[in-house]
Amino acid sequence: MSDELNTTSSHSGFNFAYLDEQTKRMIRKALLKAVAIPGHQVPFASKEMPLPYGWGTGGIQVTASIIGRDDTLKVIDQGSDDTVNAVNIRKFFQKTTGVQTTENTEEASLIQTRHRIPEFPLKEGQIMVYQVPVPEPLQRLEPRETETRKMHALADYGLMHVKLYEDITHFGKITSTYDYPVLVDHRYLSAPSPIPKFDNPKLHQSKALHLFGAGREKRIYAIPPYTDVDSLGFEDHPFELQRWDQACALCGSKDTFLDEVITNDEGGHLFVCSDTNHCQRSQKNGAVHDS
Amino acid sequence: MSMNLTDIFPGFENTERESQIIFRQVLSSFSRPGLPFEINPRVKSYEADPGKVGTSLLLALMDTGSSLHLPGVDHDSALRNFLKFHTGCTFLNSPEQADYIWVQQSAHLPALQKCALGSAEFPEASTTLIIDVEGFKIDANSNPYNPWFGPGIYGELHLEVLGLKEDFWIERKTIRPLFPCGVDVIFCSPTHIVSLPRSTRIGEEACM
Amino acid sequence: MYVAVKGGEKAIHNSVQLLGDVRRGDSSVPELQTNQIEQQLRLAVAKVMNEGALYDPMLASLAIKQASGDLLEACFLLRAYRTTLSRMGYSLPIDTHGMRIQRRISATFKDLPGGQVLGATYDYTQRLLDFSLLDKHQPEQLELSQDNAEAMESILAVFDQENLLESDLPLEGDPDPKDITREPIHFPADRPTRLQNLVRSDEGFLLGMAYSTQRGYGHTHPFAAEIRFGFVNVVIKPDELDFCIDIGEIEVTECQMINQFAGSKDIPPQFTRGYGLVFGHQERKAMAMSLVDRSLRAKELGESIESPAQMEEFVLSHSDSLESSGFVQHLKLPHYVDFQSELELVRRLRQKASEVDHNE
Domain boundaries, chain A: 2-230, 243-291
Indicate the angle between helix axes B53-61 and A21-36, nearest 10 degrees: 110
What CATH class does A2-230 carry?
alpha beta
Q: By C-alpha distance, which of A258, B203, A283, A88 is closest to C339? A: A258
Report, as an integer, the average pLDDT of C81-96: 88
Mutate to test the interface with C, among A48, A95, A131 (most CBs of C within 10 A): A48
In this prediction, residue C145 carries a pLDDT of 54
Question: Which residue in chain A is spatially nearest to B124 when comparing CA positions?
Answer: A33
Contact at CB, B14 and A3, closer than 8 angstroms = yes
Tell me how far apart the alpha carbons of residues B73 and B118 are, in angstroms, rounded to a whole number. Answer: 25
Q: By C-alpha distance, which of A262, A63, A5, A11 is closest to C339? A: A262
Please say whether the beta carbons of A117 and A126 come within 8 A: no
| Average model confidence (pLDDT) across chain A | 90
Query: Is residue A4 very low, low, confident or very high in pLDDT (cuts 50, 70, 90)?
Result: very low
The larger pLDDT score, comparing residue C272 to residue C268, is at C272
Query: Is residue B208 very low, low, confident or very high in pLDDT (cuts 50, 70, 90)?
Result: very low
Residue C352 has pLDDT above 90, yes or no: no
Query: Is residue B1 very low, low, confident or very high in pLDDT (cuts 50, 70, 90)?
Result: very low
The minimum CA-CA distance between C235 and chain A, rounded to whole Å, is: 25
Residue A142 has pLDDT above 70, yes or no: yes
3-state helix, strand, coil in chain C (%, to 5): 45, 15, 45
Residue A181 has pLDDT above 80, yes or no: yes
CA end-to-end span of chain B, whole Å? Answer: 52
Tell me how far apart the alpha carbons of residues C230 and C148 are, in angstroms, rounded to a whole number. Answer: 11
Residue A291 has pLDDT above 50, yes or no: no
The larger pLDDT score, comparing residue C81 to residue C340, is at C81
Q: What's the structural domain count of chain B?
A: 1
Residues 6+ apart with CB under 8 A from A101: A72, A73, A74, A75, A90, A93, A94
Please identify which of the residues A98, A172, A248, A252 carries the catalytic annotation.
Answer: A248
In this prediction, residue C213 carries a pLDDT of 93
Q: By C-alpha distance, which of B122, B124, B107 is closest to B197? A: B124
The minimum CA-CA distance between A183 and chain B, rounded to whole Å, is: 12
Q: By C-alpha distance, which of A254, A289, A258 is closest to A276? A: A258
Give the rounded percent of residues in chain A with a pLDDT score beyond 90. 73
Q: Is A98 labeled as catalytic in the residue annotation? A: no
Residue B207 lies in a domain: no
Q: Which residue type occupies A192?
A: P
The larger pLDDT score, comparing residue B56 to residue A283, is at B56
Residue C164 has pLDDT above 80, yes or no: yes
SS3 category, A80 = strand
Report, as an integer, the average pLDDT of C194-210: 97
Lowest-pLDDT range of A164-168, A189-193, A243-247, C218-222 = C218-222
Tell me how far apart the alpha carbons of residues B94 and C128 are, in angstroms, rounded to a whole number. Answer: 69
CATH number at residue B164: 3.40.50.11310
Q: Does B36 sit behind a cis peptide bond, omega within 30 degrees of 0 on the bond before it?
A: no
* H helix runs in chain A, sequence order: 21-36, 57-66, 84-97, 145-154, 158-171, 276-284
Residue A201 has pLDDT above 70, yes or no: yes
The minimum CA-CA distance between A25 and chain C, rounded to whole Å, is: 12
SS3 category, C350 = helix
SS3 category, C145 = coil
Contact at CB, A7 and B16, closer than 8 angstroms = yes
Question: Which residue in chain C is spatially nearest to A19 when comparing CA positions?
Answer: C84
| Average model confidence (pLDDT) across chain B | 93
Residue B46 lies in a domain: yes
The larger pLDDT score, comparing residue A277 to residue A289, is at A277
pLDDT digits (tens, 9 = 90+) for B46-71: 888 888 999 999 999 999 889 999 99
Buried b or exposed e, range A53-78, using 16+ CB within 10 angstroms: bbbbbbbbbbbbbbbbeebebbbbbb
Q: Does B95 sit behind a cis peptide bond, omega within 30 degrees of 0 on the bond before it?
A: no
Report, as an integer, the average pLDDT of A145-150: 96
Contact at CB, C8 and A216, closer than 8 angstroms = no
Report, as an integer, the average pLDDT of C242-255: 95
Q: Is A273 labeled as catalytic in the residue annotation? A: yes
Q: Degrees (nearest 5) of the Cα angle B7, B10, B14?
A: 170
Q: By C-alpha distance, which of B145, B183, B149 is closest to B165? A: B145
In this prediction, residue A11 carries a pLDDT of 42
Query: Is residue C328 very low, low, confident or very high in pLDDT (cuts 50, 70, 90)?
Result: very high
Residue B5 lies in a domain: no
In this prediction, residue B3 carries a pLDDT of 60
Say whether residue A72 is in contact with chain C using an 8 A CB cutoff: no
Chain centre distance of CA A121: 15
Residue B47 lies in a domain: yes
The domain segmentation of chain C, as residue ranges, is 16-84, 96-120+146-166+185-320
For chains A and C, count residue pairs whose Cβ atoms are closer than 8 Å.
149
Query: What is the value of ipTM here, to two decimals?
Result: 0.96
Residues 6+ apart with CB under 8 A from A123: A106, A207, A208
What is the extent of the structural domain holding B19? 11-202
In this prediction, residue A13 carries a pLDDT of 65
SS3 category, B202 = strand
Query: Is residue A10 very low, low, confident or very high in pLDDT (cuts 50, 70, 90)?
Result: very low
In chain B, which residues have their Cβ closer than 8 Å to the Cβ of A25?
Answer: 19, 61-63
In this prediction, residue A7 carries a pLDDT of 40
Lowest-pLDDT range of B18-32, B74-88, C136-150 = C136-150
For C232, list phi and psi in degrees, rounded to 5. -125, 150
Please identify which of the residues A13, A251, A252, A286 carries the catalytic annotation.
Answer: A251
Q: By C-alpha distance, which of B176, B25, B18, B188 is closest to B100? A: B188
Question: Which residue in chain A is spatially nearest to B120 when comparing CA positions?
Answer: A153
Residue A130 has pLDDT above 70, yes or no: yes
In chain B, which residues have their Cβ closer than 8 Å to the Cβ of A154?
Answer: 120
In this prediction, residue A226 carries a pLDDT of 98
Lowest-pLDDT range of A53-57, C128-132, C260-264 = C260-264
Report, as an integer, the average pLDDT of C332-356: 86
Question: Which residue in chain C is spatially nearest to A243 when comparing CA positions?
Answer: C344
Buried b or exposed e, range A199-208, using 16+ CB within 10 angstroms: bbebbeebeb
Mutate to test the interface with B, among A1, A3, A10, A69 (most CBs of B within 10 A): A3
Report, as an integer, the average pLDDT of C232-252: 92
In this prediction, residue C143 carries a pLDDT of 63
The larger pLDDT score, comparing residue A14 to residue A99, is at A99
pLDDT digits (tens, 9 = 90+) for C295-309: 999 998 888 899 999
The minimum CA-CA distance between C114 and chain A, rounded to whole Å, is: 43
Buried b or exposed e, range C55-68, using 16+ CB within 10 angstroms: bbbebbbbbbbebe
Question: Which residue in chain A is spatially nearest to B150 when comparing CA positions?
Answer: A227
The minimum CA-CA distance between C178 and chain A, rounded to whole Å, is: 12
Query: Is residue C142 very low, low, confident or very high in pLDDT (cuts 50, 70, 90)?
Result: low
**Top-ranked range on mean pLDDT: pick from A80-94, B3-17, B126-140, B180-194:** B180-194
Residue C200 has pLDDT above 80, yes or no: yes
